Structure 1
Amino acid sequence: MKKKKQMQIFVKKGFIAIVFAVAALSSCKKIYNIPDEKDYLSSNVNYSNKVFDPILGRTTLMGGFNGDNSTQPIKFEIINARFGDGRPVSDLFQKKPAYVWIAPYNGLEKSLAEIEAKRKLEEHPLFEVRSSGEFIMWASSTNELIKPRPADSTNFSQDTRYFDVRISNTGGSTVIRDLQVRPFRERPYEPSDDFNIYSGGPAPHPKTPNNPASRNYIRPFLNGVIGATSDIALQSNDDKKDVVVYIRPFTGGTGNSLRFKFLSKDSVAMNPALFNETTWDKIVHGFNMQKTATYVQYDVAYPIPLVEIPTVYAPGGTRDHAEFKYSRIGFGGIRVVASFGIDFAIYKKGDWEIVFHFLKDNPKFEDE
């Protein structure tokens, strides 16, 4: 009992000593006017890149902020947005609904409803700075809301949007000046080899860029696809275009449709059943698959891919991998598998079709 009382007295004395020490320290700070400790803001804070060329219609992160060990949190504010001729910039800061993920997407979702439950629409300026110092151009930006760079590909100062960034914490503030935004017009899909990135019209052939009558096309990959008439491997490159791809809107879908079609050299729809080794449920993260004699169609959520992470549909993360396979008996009785396809992305919601057109020769399906 005596030991217990001694322990209680000891604890009370210790507590009193701590209170006394805190009071003494506070008193000393007042007597000697010692300032409160402030955060550190380095004089070397900067961005590794100050010129941003986002493509409208896509959610794009940009920046590369270097805080040089400055104390967090740091506040970022876009100020003095103006064109090169001094006109104020306001179009970048219009507020529009943008999709924000509230739960992780993993590519295993079983329905459109399950996907949509993982994201929601929030109001955001089309262009803004995040708490990390990164800049974001949201997919809600369009050619109508933000004027893209000129169609003639010029890059005059009066067409360039400049802005400054005020960076601050309790240790002080600084301003980084003359960052630039030079947006490209919307490109609803990739690859966009057939698309003139400045004018939005058809792209000329790369070997005759000054000939407005020439036209470039999207090229698929081809592995062992033999021509039915030529009996040689089909190719798709700058010199030879046996097969080309069109990515284009179609009518009559659900508003969230993606369709795959295959055209013969006579521009007649080919039956997708010909591609008998295709794993149709791995072509795209889609639902309610419809297989007809002229196309295969899915209900999908846009953009495709939804998130830039590796999934079974987009092994590389940035593009969906659509591969179509078929087999036949080759020489010596050996079964030969051929394949073709495209790695693609579609950024704009709607009804889209991806069409493979065999221009000069059809694939050979017959056995040897």
Structure 2
Amino acid sequence: MKTYRKLLLTWALIICSTVLFAQSNRTQADSLLKQGVTLNDAGKFAEAVAKYDEILKTEPNNVTALYEKGFSLSAAGKSDEAIACFEKITSTANFPDAYVGLANIYDSKGDYEKALSYYMKGIAIAPKNRNLWFNLSVSYARQQKYPQSESAAAEAIKADPKHISSYRNYAVAAYLQGRNAEALLGLSNYLMFGVPANQSAGACQIVKEILRTSPKSDAGPIAKMQQETIVQAAKLATAGKTNLTPTDSLTIQLTAVYKVIKTQEAQYGSPFFSRYFGDFFGRIAESNYMDVFTHFIAVSLSPQDNLAWLKTRQDDIKAFNIWLNTQKRQTE
């Protein structure tokens, strides 16, 4: 019996030691990983790779360490070594961002066909992965394939409605096709996130241009008709009104245009646009919050005046935020 008890105690000590050793290794790996990411963010790519290699000595298939190593190598311009890391991941694990890493490398090489194949392989295993769709949108835009870029950006928005840059991609791709209703609402949504002034100023200028510019000569007949409707609605909304500030004028025009787009949403041929953008901005136009909304998105057009105005409307801003949280948007 004593021998049996000693045997149990020995096994218990071995198991306990093994668990403690595993926990120690995990803690060390996590620490090295954090150090590597910090070094990478500081642009010290070689030092970051060294940290990941320490992890990989004991955990050669550690997916996170392999991915971060590939990311740092790619940033350092060592694309062939980075490819080896990402390909090792894709051969052993369903890790969507490894496909993003591979596709981005081939994008940078101008090998768009191979890049596309990796995006599609990633999407096949993770159809709701925002990174895959967003980077695919960027790739298409780089190739001036704007309809495909817009479509991919729409999928990125469906996957992650809080991803700011997807709205910008969607809007720019639509704008470059002369499809200004989509561009206008995409930019309006982008600006709602409160993007920095150096980014919002350009977006605001495009919004103003859409409201007053005739359709492009090479735009399709439907796009021309829609743009003419936008310009006409904006013009009529402020006709005869005097002493308007630039933001007041923009508020009145956007209200009219959002309403017009909502009434014509069936003409756009995109359920996603109609339900996610047209319906939502139509509701904002019909609410009591267009003043707050426009002063917020148009801060960069007149920073001092708009910020001063918003400072005196804190209760209205809170009410608008509460209202926004009650609004459901359909992505499908």
Identify the TM-score tier after normalising by the shorter chain: under 0.3
Structure 1 or 2, whichever has the larger Rg, is 1
Structure with greater helix percent: 2
Tell me which of the two structures has the higher relative contact order, counting C-alpha pairs closer than 8 angstroms and 6 or more residues apart.
1
Structure with greater strand percent: 1
With normalisation by structure 2, the TM-score equals 0.25
With normalisation by structure 1, the TM-score equals 0.23
